[in-house]
Amino acid sequence: MIQSSVARRYAKALFETVDPPSIDPALTGLTSLGEALSQSTHLRHVLASPAFSEEDKLAILSTLVGRLGAPRAVTGLLAQLVRKNRISLLPQIAAAFAALADEAKGSRRVEVATAKPLSSAEQRELRSRLRELLRHDVLVSFETDAALLSGLQVRIGSTVFDSTVRSRLTAMQALLTKES
């Protein structure tokens, strides 16, 4: 919990320093760097190891930022994260920055999980319905999770609407074990 609030503060500070045309390149850079950090054990090792100096770490990150075309403010943020030994927060900072960017655009991110893949027509219908309900433009990402058995799980921010068979069975099991 504390890490996520720290990540939000860093994201907000960066968001306030970049000009509107630089928001998308900054988001792309942060997201790509966050994914690289999550997926590359070598990069995590270099950035966490005291064997490498701050300058070495910053040189690596600056090179990556340059290749991604992110604004200079991202490099400044990364320098601060390296100095404070908080570079591991980068994926969370990228997610918080994305939320701020969406809010500024007037759109909302929605994650939908289903047991079976939805057809294109079903996805369009669900997007349209969510847009009506939320009264915002929506960016919907769909994922498939066979463990849900059937139904739909919708996540909007930190709120989850769960109408899956799995959640109903779990609730029924809890009720039955409570009565026993």
For residue 13, what is the domain's CATH number?
1.10.520.20
Is pLDDT above 70 for 3? no
Regarding whether 47 and 126 lie in a shared domain, the answer is no
Tokens of 111: 């994650």
For the residues 12-26, what does the mean pLDDT come to? 91
Whether residues 60 and 138 fall in one domain: no
Q: Residue 69: which domain range? A: 2-103
Mean pLDDT of the region 58-81 = 90
Q: pTM of this prediction?
A: 0.68
Across the range 31-37, mean pLDDT stands at: 90
Bigger pLDDT: 166 vs 89:
89
Residue 158 burial (CB < 10 Å; 0-12/13-18/19+)?
exposed
Domain boundary residue, one of 78, 103, 128: 103
73 and 6, same domain (yes or no): yes
Integer Cα distance of 96 and 4 in angstroms? 8
- Shared domain for 118 and 77, answered yes or no, is no
**Where a domain ends, among 52, 85, 103?**
103
List the single range of 2-6, 86-90, 144-148 with lowest mean pLDDT. 2-6
Q: Are residues 84 and 14 in the same domain?
A: yes
Pair 91, 8 in one domain:
yes
* 21 and 98 together in one domain: yes
pLDDT band at 146 (very low <50, low <70, confident <90, very high): confident
- b/e per residue 102-133 (b: at least 16 CB within 10 A): beeeeebbbebbbbeeeeeeeeeebbeebbee
- Per-residue pLDDT for 4 more than 60? yes
Residues 11 and 82 occupy one common structural domain: yes
- CA–CA separation, 35 and 38 (whole Å): 5
pLDDT band at 180 (very low <50, low <70, confident <90, very high): low
Q: For residue 160, how far is the Cα from the chain centroid?
A: 16
State the average pLDDT over residues 74-89.
91
* CA nearest neighbour of 29 among 84, 156, 45, 37: 37
Query: Looking at the predicted structure, is the pLDDT value of residue 163 above 80?
Result: yes
User: How far is the C-alpha of 55 from the C-alpha of 40, rounded, in Å?
Assistant: 20
Do 37 and 7 belong to one domain? yes
Listed residues 63, 80, 103: the one ending a domain:
103
Please state the domain count of the chain: 2
Tell me the β-bridge partners of 111. 141, 155
Same domain, 22 and 58: yes
What's the pLDDT band for 30 if we cut at 50, 70, 90? Answer: very high
